[in-house]
A and B are shown apart, each in its own frame.
Chain A
Amino acid sequence: MDPSLLQDFLTESSELIEQLDTDLVKLEAADSAEQAQELCNGCFRALHTIKGAASFLGLTAVTTFSHAAEDALNRLRKGEISVTEEVMDALLQSADVVKAMIEQLGAGETAEDGPQALIDTLHALAEGTGDTPPTADAPKESDAAQADSQDESAQTPGDDKPGVPLELGPQKLDLLEFMVTDLLDASKLVADAIEGLSNDATLEESAQQLSEVCDEMEKTAEFFELDDLTSLVKLLNATAPKIPSASHEAIEEIAIRLKAANHLIDLQARALSDLRALSWPLETFRQRLMQLAEDGSIDPQVKGKHGGDVQKLLALDGVEEAQEQPGSPAPVDSEPDSSLPPDVVGKVGGQDEPASVPPPAGQEEAGTKDAEKTEEKSSGDKPAAKQATKTVVEQTIRVEVSRLESLLNLVGQLVLNKNRVLALTRNIKSLTIPPEVAEDFTGAAGDLDHLMSELQVSVMRTRMQPLAKLFDRYPRVIRDMARMTDKKINLEIVGKDTEVDKTVLEQLADPLVHILRNSSDHGVEPPQERKEAGKPEVGTIRLEAEHQGSHVRVAITDDGHGLDRQVLGQKAIEKDLTTPEKLEQMPDEDVFAFIFAAGFSTAKQVSDLSGRGVGMDVVRTNINKLNGTINITSKKGKGTTIEILIPLTVAIMPAMVVGVGSHPYSIPLQCIVEIVRPEPDEIKSVSGHPVMQLRDSVLPLVDMRQRLGEQPVEDGGKFAVVVAIGGQRVGLCVDKLIGQQEIVIKPLDDTYTQGGPFSGATIQEDGEVCLILDIVQLIRNSSTKTSGRDTKAAA
């Protein structure tokens, strides 16, 4: 198998699966039948596409399983089974299974067959007797509306189109365009296969391919319930396996007839998109082709007379072009979809109004907005909208991330080079060159500067992705959580179009899941409890995102019972994180921040979902990695808000460059609270560790010279840069302050250089490397060293 084909399949399928997952969750919550129908069709399309591609690539496990799921979904689509939690569980699980299969394939393994139990469930769903839909009335109304509109739209194109109007049920109508595309694609493949027949070398392969495509096409053809179309495809399918054994001469005759048949299929497909059904007198054509395929003989009267022309051949075989026979009767079977209830069929049959006439009385009675909307959609808007999406798709291309990264890297280098050029222009004035030349030079350098910053912004933007990529997964998370904990939770998502750097997006994924799980497991109360507290039974978790300057703010708010300062404080003392005396003076925020400590959990029991006290630690670590901050506000009984503020991009950030010994180091500006200049006598020592009195609190100090292995000097460490992370503060004593800069962050990920307290490195204007201090590590180390002292100092 072509690996690039497989890769394409994997990429496309993973996207489709995500879409499927999202749509399924939406489907469960859909509040109008029309919306549900649309989502259902979307899901069906996604699964069908995956199945089709998988069978093309010969991935049997995926094909079989998605086929089972598709069957079940098909019943749902037709309204023969209703949307219940059990059905949705099965479908969602199926999505997971397909996803797992795709992941397996991606890892270079063979996909395992889907779990039999689930397949059985799906089969049961697909074949079950089907319960009556609970919303039986609603779909019928909209069915009627759709049928009406379909009827109208079928009439509107005018009578100059060939064939007779085709009537399809609303469900099928919705998928019409999709199926027609399928048919046209298949027809193209058939044409290719026929071409291959003329060459001995590819003969067998092409014949094989032909019958494979025909198998697929047969299913599509059945969808339309058109006799002629189905029999044409069957004819092709029956001929295909006999071709390799036929004589050269016969193959030529067969090929031209196959071409003709394919031509008819193509015509039919095009007519179908206008909702017209074509039909032809096919008997002679069929007989001659079968005869050819059987023994290679052909009526000498027609042999070779077509001269290779498809039209002539069709005329010879008595199949005339459909255009010349506009009035030919439609086969009986192309009549209304049998899945429609009889009364609706009757209605449709009885209506004959042109499109401009307002909706019939029956529908006005129904009078629902939904019905009207449906009508608009199915008659006009939809094809247009679909076309629009097609164009959009063509306007994007897939690019490997590594290419974007190398582009970004190059731009970073260019920026540094530009800085050097700018530095040179500043010096040029001192040289003895004509002032005009110097001016030109300065001008050119100025333009370069301007263009570079634009280029930098453009390149950065290529890495930006909407948060929707993450947010769209969460409804499923919340749904599962709610199901498992027997709670009712509604997830509101605001601002999912907010764009952030790809790295930020990836790093945010885990923390957000943890926070959401926490909110739904610990935050939102069970329905009963909520009722008693006078709140609505359904809890709400709100996930919002917005840009704030060069940062993005993500907030998760729940309306649960909030954090309990008392309980948290008690636990913190138990865990030896603080002392009762200190706790008393602590602001609420600092007490709440204890939930981020590793191993900290107030959950009385550990569940599958949360309670081990690991999650929030992950949250803090990841957010810190992104140089972000977290803030918790909570009101007992009212709910909790967790607010995350992260820089838009991780590649560039503002930093303070300081000097320790002879080397510069960068400190992320984000972490710096203030910079003070302690007098030598202000620095005291507690159990051998330096501290200073900063206003009314004691600030632990870190001698950076000592920490970074520089020789101690008499007048070193003049400045104390006060940095803070999650309420913990520490003063870093440095020799000098160099200034504030926007720095480009480079990884420092070699095993040789990982040991020190550095989170990365950056390159300065002069090309020299400057290390970025890892504040989290510095604070953590200093606090473990001084935690014993804290207790003593307090006592």
Chain B
Amino acid sequence: MATQSSSPAQSTEDINTAISQASADGELLQLVSFEVGDEEFAVPILSVQEINRMMQITPVPQSPPFVEGVINLRGKIIPVIDLRKRFGMSELENSDDVRIIVVEVANRVLGFTVDRVNEVLRINSSIVEPPPSMVCGLDTDYVQGVGKLEDRLLILLHLEKLFTADEMAEMEQTSKAA
């Protein structure tokens, strides 16, 4: 990692170069950043298997409301979660930029929809702060930390917590509602 950061060819983004030069001791994080609603989120690049354009999603009746349905990922059927619904946001109107990010979490492969995928970036772990007790009114369980970039904030998601830990609670709520 350290050798990578010292090579200028590796970091095309100005911010990244600046960060990696600023402190070489901290761990370097490689992230995929994307937007949902007005926020910018990021997940570790190693957990991302692929990013797809929007495809035909088959709804699965009686699944939790944030589950949009299932898709055919080259013969494998995987569930797709609508992150907007998961975060309790309103539905998106213009969906041209919507992408499905396919991740592997705790041995499960699943996809989630985001409004737009921004970029792959490297940040130093030293600029990531633990989440404040309340972030934008979201439950902070699945927020791993907040990365302070020069001009913006990046919310680092904890995928396992996002898709597994409080899922049981969600499921229970669904069954109560139904």
Contact = CB atoms under 8 A, between A and B. Distances in A.
Interface of A: 409-410, 412-413, 416, 663, 707-709, 746-748, 750-753, 755-758, 761, 763, 767-771
A752 B72 contact: no
Nearest to B68: A752
Interface stretch (B24-32, B52-60, B120-128, B136-144): B52-60
Contact of B75 (A707, A746, A771): A746
A589 to B, nearest CB: 33
Interface string B52-82: 0000101111111001011110111111010
Contact of B74 (A413, A747, A761): A413
A761 B59 CA distance: 12
A488 to B, nearest CB: 51
Nearest to B67: A752
Contacts of A758: 60
A768 B60 contact: no
B39 to A, nearest CB: 23
Contact of B56 (A410, A707, A767): A767
A413 B75 contact: yes
Contacts of A771: 58, 60, 70
B114 interface: no
Contact of B70 (A755, A757, A761): A761
A750 B78 contact: yes
* Interface residue tally on B, bucketed by range: 20 to 34
B165 to A, nearest CB: 12
A763 B75 contact: yes
10 contacts: A746-B75, A746-B76, A750-B78, A752-B79, A753-B67, A755-B62, A755-B174, A763-B75, A767-B72, A771-B60
Given A752-B63, A753-B79, A769-B56, 20 more contacts: A410-B75, A708-B62, A746-B76, A746-B77, A747-B77, A748-B77, A750-B78, A750-B79, A751-B171, A753-B70, A755-B171, A756-B62, A757-B62, A758-B60, A761-B77, A767-B56, A769-B58, A769-B70, A769-B77, A771-B60
B13 interface: no
A763 B63 contact: no
Contacts of A756: 60-63
B101 to A, nearest CB: 16
Identify whether the interface residues of A are mostly helix, strand, loop, or mixed: mixed
A483 B98 CA distance: 68
By CB atoms of chain A within 10 A, which of B59, B75, B78, B171 has the most?
A: B75
B108 interface: yes
A412 B75 contact: yes
A747 B78 CA distance: 10
B103 interface: no
Contacts of B155: none
B58, B71, B167 — which one has the most chain A CB atoms within 10 A of its CB? Answer: B58
Given A750-B79, A752-B67, A763-B77, A769 B72 contact: yes
Contacts of B61: 707-709, 756
Contacts of B56: 767-769
Nearest to B57: A769
Contacts of B64: 752, 755
B59 A663 contact: yes
Contacts of A747: 77
A753 B60 contact: yes
A319 B64 CA distance: 86
Nearest to A707: B61
Contacts of B62: 708-709, 755-757
B42 interface: no
Contacts of A752: 60, 63-64, 67, 79, 81, 110, 167
Nearest to A754: B63
A750 B72 contact: no
Interface centre among A708, A746, A752, A771 (most CB of B within 10 A): A752
Contacts of B81: 752
Contacts of A416: 75
Contacts of A768: 56, 58, 72
5 smallest beta-carbon distances between A and B, as pairs: A756-B62, A769-B58, A413-B75, A708-B61, A752-B79
Contact of B58 (A709, A757, A770): A770
Contacts of B70: 748, 753, 761, 769, 771
A755 B63 contact: yes
Nearest to A756: B62
A756 B63 CA distance: 6
A746 B78 CA distance: 10
Given A752-B110, A761-B70, A409 B75 contact: yes
A574 to B, nearest CB: 33
Nearest to B108: A750
A556 B141 CA distance: 56
A763 to B, nearest CB: 5
A769 B167 contact: no
B141 to A, nearest CB: 18
B67 to A, nearest CB: 5
A750 B110 contact: yes
Nearest to A406: B75
A755 B70 CA distance: 13
B75 A753 contact: no
Interface string B147-178: 00000000000000000000100010011000
Interface in B76-102: 76-79, 81
A783 B74 CA distance: 38
Contacts of B174: 755
Nearest to A660: B61
Nearest to B62: A756
A753 B167 CA distance: 12
Q: Select the residue from B60, B62, B71, B78 with max chain A CB neighbours within 10 A.
A: B60
A580 to B, nearest CB: 37
B71 A769 contact: yes
B5 to A, nearest CB: 37
A748 B78 CA distance: 8
Contacts of A748: 60, 70, 77
A78 B7 CA distance: 77
A742 to B, nearest CB: 16
Nearest to B168: A751
A752 B78 CA distance: 10
B177 to A, nearest CB: 12
Contacts of A753: 60, 63, 67, 70, 79
Nearest to A762: B77
Contacts of A767: 56, 72
Contacts of B58: 663, 761, 768-771
Contacts of B59: 663
A718 to B, nearest CB: 20
A763 B72 contact: yes
A725 B171 CA distance: 30
Interface in B15-61: 56, 58-61
Contacts of A709: 61-62
- Most B Cβ at <10 Å: residue of A412, A761, A769: A769
Contacts of B60: 748, 752-753, 756, 758, 771
A747 B70 CA distance: 12
